[in-house]
Amino acid sequence: MGIYEEIASNKRRSYLLIFFFMVFVIFVGFVVGFFYGSTYFGVGLALVIGIIYFLISYYGGANAILAMTKAKEAKKPEYTYLINTVEGLAIAAGLAKPPKVYVINDDALNAFATGRDPEHSSITVTTGLLDKLNRLELEGVIAHEMSHIKNFDIRVMMLAAVMVGITVLLSDFLLRSFLWGRRGRDKEGGQLTFVFIIVGIALAILAPLVGEAIKLAISRKREYLADASGALLTRYPKGLADALKKIKSDPDPLVDHANKATAHLFISTPFRKSKRSFLKKLYSTHPPIDDRIKRLEGM
């Protein structure tokens, strides 16, 4: 798949994500409205809230993510070398404008890119990464992030981060309102209500799971692709392979301010390592690092 198909597919994925999110929001509004007397009011209110939430997350999501991870903007002269590397690779990728550069004060070796499009994007690295990687390895990591930006991966991943989060919250709310609503309406509870309850509960449980799974599936394939197109930018796959090796052997992969909503953004999973069971593999945010190293070394 070429880069232009990749970009088109990512834009499509973003629309799908927004569409599913809206369907879910409307459904929640309908069900809540149904139990409180007016479905029209419920749907209307949900639509307004949903659209506002979407706009806020589309235009402010990146800043929210940066704030959540406690990233600070990198400035010259302290980070001249990092900023130059990012600007250089932005040129190599043919971006009109280099992404902003942020730093997280953390010993862990990690990095991520976010933003809604290449013109409004940023790359964040931990200070640990800057200290422990050499020039070639850092170039490899930055090139990987630059590919996420160029491919519009960042848009899908950002929307996933902010929308999946709210879906979980809403399902929780939905589940609660069922338990409430039933208490007050026991006498009139016809068959229709019963069906709604079943469907609603099923959806309330399933939606976050499905959302989570989609998010992860998106992210894992992305990592291989970004590795490959990053190698094309530096023309030196070994740089990223060596960086991944260092990241893998680092005893402290934990980024203090990473959480479930932001985990899939990072270049390597920001949580503590544990034995991989089949289910864990299915739900993990990143492909096995050994596999990525092997693929890079085979290039």
Partner 1 sequence: MVATWIIIAVVAVVALFIAYIYNSLIKLRMRVKNAWAQIDVQLKRRYDLIPNLVSAVKGYMKHEKGVLEEVTKARTSLMSGSTQEKAKASNQITEALKSIFAVAENYPNLKANENFMQLQEELSGTESKIAYARQFYNDSVMAFNEAIQVFPKNFFAKIFGFHQKEFFGAEGVERKNVKVEF
As annotated, the active-site residues are 145
Number of helices (H), then strands (E), in the chain = 10, 4
Q: How far is the CB of 294 from partner 1 (least distance, A)?
A: 23
Q: Is 187 in the site for partner 1 (CB under 8 A)?
A: no
Q: Is 85 in the site for partner 1 (CB under 8 A)?
A: yes
Q: How far is the CB of 46 from partner 1 (least distance, A)?
A: 43
β-bridge pairing 120-126 and 111-117: antiparallel
Q: Which of 169, 259, 167, 151 is nearest to 213 (CA)?
A: 167
Of 83-91, 121-129, 205-213, 256-264: span binding partner 1 (CB under 8 A):
83-91
> Which residue of 19, 40, 41, 81 would you call a contact of partner 1, by CB under 8 A?
81
Using omega within 30 degrees of 0 as the cis cutoff, is the peptide bond preceding 77 cis? yes
Q: Is 84 in the site for partner 1 (CB under 8 A)?
A: yes
Helix (H), strand (E) at residue 43: helix 39-68
Q: Is 65 in the site for partner 1 (CB under 8 A)?
A: no
Q: How far is the CB of 266 from partner 1 (least distance, A)?
A: 25
Q: Is 88 in the site for partner 1 (CB under 8 A)?
A: yes
Of 54-62, 65-73, 161-169, 231-239: span binding partner 1 (CB under 8 A):
231-239
User: DSSP character for 195?
Assistant: H
Q: How far is the CB of 87 from partner 1 (least distance, A)?
A: 6
Q: Which of 54, 17, 25 is nearest to 156 (CA)?
A: 17
Taken as a whole, the chain contains a residue count of 299
Q: Is 94 in the site for partner 1 (CB under 8 A)?
A: yes
> Which residue of 183, 235, 272, 275 would you call a contact of partner 1, by CB under 8 A?
235
Rounded Cα distance between 110 and 270, Å, is: 7
Rounded Cα distance between 215 and 22, Å, is: 16
Contacts with 4 (C-beta within 8 Å, 6 or more apart), sequence order: none
> Between 237-249 and 135-150, two packed helices, what is the crossing angle to 10 degrees?
100
Q: Is 130 in the site for partner 1 (CB under 8 A)?
A: no
Q: Is 87 in the site for partner 1 (CB under 8 A)?
A: yes
Residues in contact with partner 1, counted by CB under 8 A, come to a total of 18
Of 34-42, 230-238, 269-277, 291-299: span binding partner 1 (CB under 8 A):
230-238
Q: Which of residues 236-265 bind partner 1 (CB under 8 A)?
A: 236
> Which residue of 2, 37, 77, 190 would you call a contact of partner 1, by CB under 8 A?
77
Q: Which letter, b or e, does each residue of 214-247 get, where b requires 16 or more Cβ atoms within 10 Å of its Cβ? A: bbbebbbebbebbbbbbbebbebbebbbbbbbeb
Q: How far is the CB of 261 from partner 1 (least distance, A)?
A: 34
What residues line the site for partner 1 (CB under 8 A)?
Answer: 77, 80-81, 83-85, 87-89, 91-94, 96, 135, 233, 235-236
